[in-house]
Amino acid sequence: IKGNKLITMTGLKSYSELLIKNKLFQLYKQDIENLIFKGTKISKSIEIIDKSNIIIFDLVSIKNSAIIGENTFINTMTSIGHHTHIKGNTRISIGVLIGGNVTIGNACFIGMGAKIFPGVSIGENCCISANAIITQNVPDNSYVSGKNKIKPMKIEGMGLWS
């Protein structure tokens, strides 16, 4: 893995343990650059941006040549395909499937169980609802639900996670 300090943690035994570890990460994240939980399968060729402050939970799979940007949170049981670029300030929920050659812009939220097909580009400041299916490109500042139901979303001044 290309990147700076990595800290791995053992698997979770309970939801309360998850809350404790998440709270510890929030309290000490200025001292931790990246937090990756045990049980994550990450290709050796992925790139994690230096000083990126990412957290990757257990049972996540990240394929070769993916790039993970700063301040990215990847929740459990998520699969990220090869040559995918997640730019930063993005939150990915539980059980998301992201195909290969996908680009996800800055400050996005991907809801639980969403499926993003190979070759799709998702713009900046987008919100993808739970269980959405995306087979086409999504412009900046969009909300997506169902299968490719894309609606403009007004963002006042800041991105979703600023």
Of the listed 1, 43, 85, 103, which one is catalytic? Answer: 85
Cite the beta strand spans of the chain per DSSP E.
Answer: 7-9, 34-37, 41-42, 47-48, 54-56, 61-62, 67-70, 73-74, 79-80, 85-88, 91-92, 97-98, 103-104, 109-110, 115-116, 121-122, 127-128, 133-134, 142-145, 149-152
Helices and strands, counts by H and E, the chain = 1, 20
82 is catalytic: no
By annotation, the residues acting in catalysis are: 85
